Amino acid sequence: MAKLLKKIVLTGACGTLGMELRSTLASLADELLSVDIADAPAGLLENETFVQADCSKFDEVLPLMEGADIAVHFASIPDERPFEELLGPNYLSSYNVWEAGHRHGVRRVIYASSVHAVGMLENSAGIDVDADHAPDTFYGLAKCFTEDLGKLYWAKRGMESVHLRIFSCTKVPQNARALRTWLSFDDLRHLVERSITTQATGFTVVYGISNNDRAPVNNSKSTYLGYHPKDNAENWADSLLAAGVDVDPKDPAQLLIGGPFATVPLGESGVAGIKAMATDAPAPAPEAAPTNGKKLPSFLTKKGMNP
């Protein structure tokens, strides 16, 4: 049976989130072209091809977009670093994807933006997708840059884009902050699928967050995407709050949407602060068997500690 699209290009295909998206994307198009600076993942899907490329180099990105309908741009360094280290992977790569896409008639880019585009706003502000940019780091600034790039290409060149302001996308919520910020892998897949299959999006911003009781943002202006997240971090509240609720009420890392990213000096890792939170109370799934002191699965250690 013919699929919806001819070709989707996925950048950052070897990353934590890229790996979660490959099957969904492959089901929507005749061809999935997966791209990463890293080596090819083991076991490509039937209609998937892989190209190793550096997205910060325009000449490497341009040929990838030939014949593509949609680009899903997830390649980047997902943490705060000195500006010079982010310039290629997080800033130039975005320009390259949009410009190469424009030259080859790509209709829409789905972009992995981040909560850190608005990380200096307060949890209590009750923001929606129209909140002004308030980046908390050079990392967040790259997300603001790319959102505005998407807005520019829509206004001047009619190229659509959907910017997913992802919070904390992990298999299970990692810490008490994640009661507000968690995005499950299933909800991520659903959000990306809706961002692709919605007939017209123009320039759209949407928060990538699950159906959490304690979500500090709302998507009321992006309901036309039909994104209805099903998972809720509250199901982990007992274990996540087991360490207690005794935090400094004036700590900006507690008060601001960006969490630890809002307090790190520019250029220094924010993920390190998030990992520090996670070691206090690793979160087993409610139905999971206790670990009994055995080694934690990889999703609770190396992977899934992202912003």
Ligand X SMILES: NC(=O)c1ccc[n+]([C@@H]2O[C@H](COP(=O)([O-])OP(=O)(O)OC[C@H]3O[C@@H](n4cnc5c(N)ncnc54)[C@H](O)[C@@H]3O)[C@@H](O)[C@H]2O)c1
List contacts with ligand X (CB under 6 A). 11-12, 14-18, 36-38, 54-56, 74-78, 88-89, 93, 112, 114, 166, 168-169, 306-307
Q: What is the DSSP letter of 245?
A: S
Q: Are 288 and 206 in contact (CB under 8 A)?
A: no
- Picking from 53, 148, 144, 32, the residue whose alpha carbon sits closest to that of residue 98 is 148
For ligand X, the closer CB: 42 or 289: 42
For ligand X, the closer CB: 106 or 164: 164
Helix ranges restricted to H, the chain:
16-26, 58-61, 83-86, 93-103, 138-157, 178-181, 185-197, 237-240, 252-255, 271-280
Question: Minimum distance from CB of 289 to ligand X (Å)?
Answer: 26
Residues in the chain: 307
Does the active-site annotation cover 111? Answer: no
For ligand X, the closer CB: 115 or 159: 115
Question: Minimum distance from CB of 249 to ligand X (Å)?
Answer: 26
51/35 Cα distance (integer angstroms): 5
- Catalytic pick among 111, 139, 153, 207: 139
Question: Minimum distance from CB of 14 to ligand X (Å)?
Answer: 4
For ligand X, the closer CB: 30 or 131: 131
Question: Beta strands of the chain (E only): which ranges?
Answer: 5-11, 29-36, 48-52, 70-73, 108-114, 160-166, 168-169, 182-183, 203-208
Question: Minimum distance from CB of 225 to ligand X (Å)?
Answer: 18
Going from the C-alpha of 35 to that of each of 23, 42, 73, the distances in angstroms are 14, 13, 10
Question: Minimum distance from CB of 7 to ligand X (Å)?
Answer: 18
CB atoms within 10 A of CB 88: 16
Residue bearing tokens 């206004």: 155
Residue bearing tokens 């910020």: 181
For ligand X, the closer CB: 170 or 239: 170
161/241 Cα distance (integer angstroms): 38
- Residue whose beta carbon is closest to ligand X: 15
Q: Active-site positions? A: 139
